[in-house]
Amino acid sequence: MSHMTRHLTLEVLLAVLEQGQSLDKALAMYLPKLEDVREQRLLQALSYGVLRRLPFLKALLKPLLKKPLKAKDQDMYYLLCLGVYQHLETRIPAHAATATTVEVARLRKKAWATGLINAILRNFVRQKDSLLAEAEKQDSARFAHPPWWLKQTQKDWAEHWQQLLDGNNEHPPLSLRVNALQTDRDSYLAALEQAEIAAKASAYSPDGIVLDKPVDVLRLPDFAQGAVAVQDSSTQFAAQLLKPQVGERVLDACAAPGGKTAHLLAQAKIDLLALDISEQRLAQVEENCQRLQCECQTQVGDASTDTWWDGKPFDAILADVPCSASGVVRRHPDIKYRRRINDIAQFAEQQGQILENLWQMLKPGGRLLYSTCSIFAAENQQQIQQFLAKQADAELVSLDVNWGIDTDFGRQILPGESLELDGFFYSLLHKQG
């Protein structure tokens, strides 16, 4: 386990925390620089771990740093966070965790910091118990979320906020959706057993499978042939709730990367249009559909305008709208630091525009499923409440399901409700007429 792995981990952290890059993009950039698969795994584990626990790590460091480091030396601050994380959460021996962290400062031509880092990490080990006890008293540190996020969650979910925030810090399982166009769940579970991959049927989705441990997708039987897709159980509810019927004209607005698109196409033989504002991301929809051997039309367009629409109404619409992604933080811990409180109102405004625009494209008697991977009320139940108050021909359809909380305007899955489920909101609307 070399100091080069720590150095590249620090580069990932700086890309996310200083440059605002997504963790996925940063990892894609730095993982290939390591040839050893074990070192790649370590880089990934350390990056995710530090980002999951960052507010807690900062609280532990605060009493140890006599004065804040200069702006140009923020890399050394995040290096200290990485060092503390290794001591706290990994089985790396204490001397190795300290030595490799100190080496990174030298590698970054900041020899002046080596003594400081060495002293602080040694002090951390000595004072660990008292530092942990003090940090646990601060909610933002204890739950490892920025203060604004903590306050907003307490406001929106007074009874559930602790479970929700703890849920955000869990390690999510790898969930699959069996492609019903090719196989069924029992057959695929048998194939997994034969491949010595431990898995069980989803407790929520009839097409879902949850692996005991994540594996490389190329190890999954017939993955390349499209027998199965990687898809969280929560996202599998979209196609099940919209229930496309044979021959219907269906719109999947904001369709990329295409997991829900392919699931809709596996439910029934339909005429489906996959819409997305990004041509590049729409190419992912096409690739996914190609692998899963299902066909749809694709269209580049903005779901909040009608410039792309041919004027023919749809029988059913899936509006999986852009959102804060606050419900999938356990998969993308960088979201906690890339979001600001003002983003929620901006997303809510955009969502309202999309909802009103798509409603005009829905046939009388048709249905629209609104969904987000957010936990914030402004993007979810409040959005639907406002829409129903304005739209006389819209009525809420009651959802008879075994998951989520009834918000009176849709079902909210909160992180921590089940290890199997990401945070999601669903509301099904019927157009009268």
Which stretches within 211-251 are classed as H helix?
Answer: 233-242
CA distance linking residue 71 with residue 81, whole number of Å: 16
pLDDT digits (tens, 9 = 90+) for 199-236: 999 999 999 999 999 999 999 999 999 999 999 999 99
Of the chain, the percentage scoring pLDDT greater than 90 comes to 97
pLDDT digits (tens, 9 = 90+) for 279-327: 999 999 999 999 999 999 999 999 999 999 999 999 999 999 999 999 9
More confident residue, 59 or 92: 59
Contact 321, 304 (CB under 8 A): no
Catalytic residues: 373
Cis link prior to 63 (omega < 30° from 0)? Answer: no
Q: What's the pTM value of the predicted model, to 2 decimals?
A: 0.95
Q: What is the mean pLDDT of residues 417-427?
A: 96
Q: What is the mean pLDDT of residues 71-97?
A: 94
Q: How many CB atoms lie within 10 A of CB 343?
A: 16
CA distance linking residue 397 with residue 35, whole number of Å: 53
Q: What is the mean pLDDT of residues 117-136?
A: 96
For residue 186, what pLDDT is reported? 97
pLDDT band at 380; cut points 50, 70, 90: very high
Contact 291, 224 (CB under 8 A): yes
For residue 404, what pLDDT is reported? 97
pLDDT band at 2; cut points 50, 70, 90: confident
Structure token digits, residue 38 = 């074990």
Of the chain, the percentage scoring pLDDT greater than 70 comes to 100
pLDDT digits (tens, 9 = 90+) for 240-277: 999 999 999 999 999 999 999 999 999 999 999 999 99
**Structural domains of the chain sorted by starting position, each given as residue range(s) with its CATH number in brackets:** 3-141 (1.10.940.10), 175-230 (3.30.70.1170), 233-431 (3.40.50.150)
Q: What is the mean pLDDT of residues 31-42?
A: 94
Instruction: List the Cα angle 212/288/418 in 5-degree steps.
Output: 30
Structure token digits, residue 252 = 């999947």
For residue 3, what pLDDT is reported? 87
For residue 151, what pLDDT is reported? 97
pLDDT at 396 exceeding the cut of 70: yes
More confident residue, 65 or 1: 65
Tell me what the pLDDT averaged over the chain comes to: 96
Contact 362, 313 (CB under 8 A): yes
